[in-house]
Structure 1
Amino acid sequence: MTALATPTGRYLGRWASGSPEWHAARRHRIGGSDVAAIVGLSKWQSKYSLWCEKAGLIEPDPQTDDQTRGHILEPSVANWFAYEHPEYEVVEAGTYVHVDPDRDWQLCNPDRLLLQGGRVACGLELKTDADGREWGTSGTAEIPFYYLTQVRWYMDVLGLPEWRVAVLIGRGLEFREYIILPDEADTEWMRRQAEEFQLSIAWDEMPPVDGHKATVKALHKRHPLIEPNTVYDISDEQAARWFPVLTEEKQAAAAAAAAKKDAMKVRAELLEAMGTTAHARYGRMKVARRQSKQGGTPHLVVESDLPTFPDPELQGAAAA
């Protein structure tokens, strides 16, 4: 593949996502998705789990089903964008680092680059999302923060003045696109956070654990064995911090289980009362419906917004 010139990017090569070469290029560098984890905005990776990977303490997770879906659909999203924007030539990119030798730890692996007149005009990131709740109006810059950090990092590495993001949302495959511009203050802050993270690895200063699920998973990976007949003694200070939280968790789980049992009984009562009707309403407001999938057995769907109970006397009568 011919390297495409960008203002501040240096081309390394192009490898399949997840390949040994791909991982080797990333091992001692910081990419766009890494930055989201470092600043605490990633849903999939924590600062702690990323640190353990970069330090060689654990291996990266295999590709998830969501990631597989994204890679399979990526060409289709790119083709849709190209159809909507004939003014651009949409081309595959590769892996880049910053051209400054002191910043070649900044890595960029964009989905596509957009050419005009044979020159790189901006970048293109391609996404899929099951429900689109975190995506704003098409044509704005309202994208999830973990993708925003990724895109702004890419712009910083390549020196490009603009980035486009195209996404397919939901079962109906709604196409939306967004325009992201640089923010120098945000970019400088991310760069400082990434530099401090790199130094923490060099100085073997592991970040503290947090409640991210990726952190818990990393700890499981770090300690896969159980040494028989060994005991860890919890200190008074640790007990004072840990036990109230663990007790609260157990109480909340018990309350949730009780609430679920009560709710199942109420659902059964509502289904019995509805019989073969399609909808249930309170006053003029629909509160539930019976529906089936492809002619299967009907099930109850309770609307997300329920009316508050209006009459204290009726509340008392119901409780009696």
Structure 2
Amino acid sequence: MTIEIIRPADRQAWLAARGQDVTASVAAAVLGAHPYTTPYALWAEKTGRLSPDTEETEAMERGNLMEPVVVAMIRKRFPEWTVTYENDRAYYRDGIRRIGATPDAFIDRADRVGTGNCQIKTASEDAFKEFWLDPDTGDVVPPTWIAVQAITEAQLTGCAWACVALVVITWRGTFQLHIIDVPIHLRLWNRLVAKVEEFWAMVASGEEPEPDWQRDGAVVMDVYRDSMPERRDLTGNTELDMLVHQYDRARVEAASAKAVVEQLRPHIIRALGNAEIGETTNWQISARTAHRSGHFVPASQSRVLRVKPRKDIEHASF
């Protein structure tokens, strides 16, 4: 495996380098194990059907700003370790397999043989409890997609071992540092390499993966956002015919439900009068006046109606 190391001059050059590969941060998508990227979304981006989102999100900004802080924490907590942190966006890529990674830091420890790759992550206290903490054992376990990222970075950088340095930002505003070793499972790595090869073969063939209809709806709409003045014969697609029937029925039912909602709403508001909150036998009602500075609010939208079951009622009587 021949690895090329690219040291980009700026962020745009770094993004351009990453654009030609499946990168470590989304590599788990080809395994169907990424929470934010699907195989279809990855395909849409790499084939140019979907422009890559190059804008730095708030979470990305937090991660980038926190990297030097996390490195400083590691050095303070473990002064006997040697931490190498360049912060230069060095990009490591296997040009044949078209897999790439931007490692965060490297660590040398007396208790480990060779240099280790260190992936830096931050999380809120709620996210830590939901995604990182094993509820049965209390162990801190990285999510699968982050483990795949750490393993990919270790393989591309030639590291002997890998870890994740996680800083939890607590509700009190304090920082908790966790160093989590990530075993380098060669079987997982080989499976990833095979899946990436299949992915690029699909891209080259012009085929496309089946969308995950629970997650890819917005991506599909973006891919096919432009229409052309042409007609397509779909009479042989019986499955589509059934889907169109379901869509039409749901559309009619939704319109009917909306009409019922609009009819019932004034009945409830009239019973409530000018009071903001009211209660029935089973329901709590609130209808506060909506205030929108500088905008005219129609009477039909002037009060925001919300209903929810009363918490003090165990069994509703309808």
Paired position in structure 2 for 1:280: none
Q: Following superposition of structure 1 onto structure 2, how do residues 8-19 of structure 1 map, counting pairs within 5 Å?
A: 9-14=3-8, 16=10, 19=11
Using a 3 Å threshold, how does the CA distance of structure 1 residues 245 and 159 change in structure 2: closer, same or farther? farther
Give unmatched runs, 5+ long, in structure 2: 266-277, 286-308
Query: Aligned equivalents of 2:138 and 2:68: distance in 1?
Result: 21
* TM-superposed deviation, 1:23: 2.0
Using a 3 Å threshold, how does the CA distance of structure 1 residues 202 and 9 change in structure 2: closer, same or farther? same
TM (norm. structure 1) is 0.66
2:317 to 313, 316, 319: 319
Helix, strand or coil for the counterpart of 2:132? coil
One-letter amino acid matched to 2:205: W
Q: Does 1:178 align with 2:171?
A: no
Using a 3 Å threshold, how does the CA distance of structure 1 residues 247 and 106 change in structure 2: closer, same or farther? same
One-letter amino acid matched to 1:108: A
Query: Aligned equivalents of 1:188 and 1:196: distance in 2?
Result: 12
Using a 3 Å threshold, how does the CA distance of structure 1 residues 243 and 198 change in structure 2: closer, same or farther? same
Q: Does 1:198 align with 2:200?
A: yes
Paired position in structure 1 for 2:190: 188
Query: Aligned equivalents of 1:75 and 1:114: distance in 2?
Result: 14
Q: Following superposition of structure 1 onto structure 2, how do residues 1-320 of structure 1 map, counting pairs within 5 Å?
A: 9-14=3-8, 16=10, 19-61=11-53, 62-93=55-86, 94-98=90-94, 102-103=96-97, 105-115=98-108, 121-130=115-124, 131=126, 132=128, 133-136=130-133, 142-172=141-171, 173-211=175-213, 213=215, 215-225=216-226, 235-241=237-243, 244=246, 268=284, 319=317
One-letter amino acid matched to 2:15: H
Give unmatched runs, 5+ long, in structure 1: 1-6, 270-301, 310-314
Using a 3 Å threshold, how does the CA distance of structure 1 residues 227 and 80 change in structure 2: closer, same or farther? same
Q: How many residues align?
A: 261
Query: Aligned equivalents of 2:116 and 2:224: distance in 1?
Result: 44
Q: Deviations 1:57-104 (Å, cap 9, x if unpaired)?
A: 221112222222221222212221222222222223521124xx644x
Q: Deviations 1:156-177 (Å, cap 9, x if unpaired)?
A: 2223221121222243433322
Query: Aligned equivalents of 1:48 and 1:22: distance in 2?
Result: 23
Paired position in structure 1 for 2:305: none
Query: Aligned equivalents of 2:83 and 2:249: distance in 1?
Result: 55
C-alpha contact (below 8 Å) 1:161/1:181 kept by paired residues: no
Query: Aligned equivalents of 2:247 and 2:141: distance in 1?
Result: 36
Query: Aligned equivalents of 1:124 and 1:227: distance in 2?
Result: 49
Using a 3 Å threshold, how does the CA distance of structure 1 residues 205 and 79 change in structure 2: closer, same or farther? same
Query: Aligned equivalents of 1:23 and 1:111: distance in 2?
Result: 16
* TM-superposed deviation, 1:109: 0.8
Using a 3 Å threshold, how does the CA distance of structure 1 residues 11 and 243 change in structure 2: closer, same or farther? same
C-alpha contact (below 8 Å) 1:123/1:162 kept by paired residues: yes
C-alpha contact (below 8 Å) 1:139/1:178 kept by paired residues: no
* TM-superposed deviation, 1:180: 0.6
C-alpha contact (below 8 Å) 2:33/2:144 kept by paired residues: yes
Moved segments of 4+, more than 6 Å:
228-234, 245-251
Query: Aligned equivalents of 1:33 and 1:13: distance in 2?
Result: 18
TM (norm. structure 2) is 0.67
Using a 3 Å threshold, how does the CA distance of structure 1 residues 41 and 212 change in structure 2: closer, same or farther? farther
Helix, strand or coil for the counterpart of 1:166? strand
Query: Aligned equivalents of 1:139 and 1:8: distance in 2?
Result: 40
C-alpha contact (below 8 Å) 1:33/1:42 kept by paired residues: no
Using a 3 Å threshold, how does the CA distance of structure 1 residues 248 and 203 change in structure 2: closer, same or farther? same
Paired position in structure 1 for 2:288: none
Query: Aligned equivalents of 1:73 and 1:47: distance in 2?
Result: 30
Aligned-pair identity in percent equals 20
C-alpha contact (below 8 Å) 1:141/1:180 kept by paired residues: no
* TM-superposed deviation, 1:227: 5.8
One-letter amino acid matched to 1:57: R
* TM-superposed deviation, 1:190: 0.7
* TM-superposed deviation, 1:20: 2.2
